[in-house]
């Protein structure tokens, strides 16, 4: 007796499926739903926005550090000039000096020490204005160095025995004024 292929018993559907494949119910969708995709997109967008804000803050902080570095170099430059002109320092020429360029100071003949102090201070003020946005500064004898709002209002108290203080201001951003202060004993 011969059996037809039609008369053979059919194999159970679960027996023909590979064992590692998950079972699916009829009508069950596979993959992400639209809501899951949108939630993922929102989370990724918030992450990218946070990274953008972080990058902007880093750029601002780098700019602030760069300007503070320039102010530091400029302050030490003036401090060296004050230390190198001991006669003018003892005479008080560097205490709230008035800048005045004296052409003779740039010749071989030279100029008096007070004129040299005023010329070097004027050069320093000009360099400061070029190096920093709205850069300005002063030097004075001050026992409370961390005050003042600008060269016109430096708040120097001229207390005997107080150190010389170099104060530098510049504008950062639209209205943010920054200040760098350093003291020295010549």
Q: Is residue 24 part of a domain?
A: no
Q: Is residue 68 part of a domain?
A: yes
Q: What is the pLDDT of residue 9?
A: 57
Most confident of 3-12, 20-29, 42-51, 151-160: 42-51
- The rounded percent of the chain whose pLDDT value lies above 70 is 83
Q: What is the pLDDT of residue 173?
A: 80
d(CA 60, CA 121): 30
Contact, 160 vs 143, CB < 8 A? no
pTM above 0.95, yes or no: no
Q: Is residue 111 part of a domain?
A: yes
Residue ranges making up the domain that contains 127: 40-184
Q: Is residue 143 part of a domain?
A: yes
Q: Biggest alpha carbon distance in the chain?
A: 134
The answer on pLDDT for 79 being more than 90 is yes
The answer on pLDDT for 40 being more than 70 is yes
Q: Is residue 158 part of a domain?
A: yes
For residue 14, name the pLDDT band (cuts at 50, 70, 90). low
Q: Is residue 3 part of a domain?
A: no
Q: What is the mean pLDDT of residues 113-130?
A: 95
The answer on pLDDT for 76 being more than 90 is yes
Q: Name the DSSP letter for residue 105.
A: G
Q: Give the number of domains in the chain.
A: 1
Q: Is residue 165 part of a domain?
A: yes
d(CA 136, CA 148): 12
For residue 149, name the pLDDT band (cuts at 50, 70, 90). confident
With the C-alpha atoms ordered 58, 61, 67, 71, is the resulting torsion angle positive or negative? negative
Q: Is residue 119 part of a domain?
A: yes
Q: Name the DSSP letter for residue 8.
A: S
């Amino acid at each position: 007796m011969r059996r037809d292929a039609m008369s053979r018993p059919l194999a159970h559907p679960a027996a023909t499926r590979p064992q590692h494949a998950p079972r699916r119910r009829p009508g069950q969708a596979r993959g992400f739903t639209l809501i899951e995709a949108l939630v993922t997109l929102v989370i990724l967008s918030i992450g990218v926005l946070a990274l953008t804000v972080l990058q902007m803050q880093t750029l601002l902080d780098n700019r602030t550090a760069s300007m503070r570095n320039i102010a530091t170099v400029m302050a030490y430059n003036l401090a060296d000039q004050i230390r190198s002109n001991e006669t003018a320092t003892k005479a008080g020429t560097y205490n709230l000096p008035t800048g005045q360029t004296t052409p003779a100071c740039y010749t071989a003949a030279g100029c008096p020490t007070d004129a040299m102090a005023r010329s070097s201070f004027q050069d320093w003020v000009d360099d400061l204005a070029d190096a920093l946005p709205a850069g300005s500064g002063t030097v004075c004898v001050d026992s409370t160095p961390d005050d003042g709002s600008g060269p016109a209002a430096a708040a120097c108290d001229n207390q005997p025995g107080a150190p010389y203080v170099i104060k530098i201001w510049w504008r950062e951003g639209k209205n943010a004024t920054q200040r760098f202060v350093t003291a020295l004993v010549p």
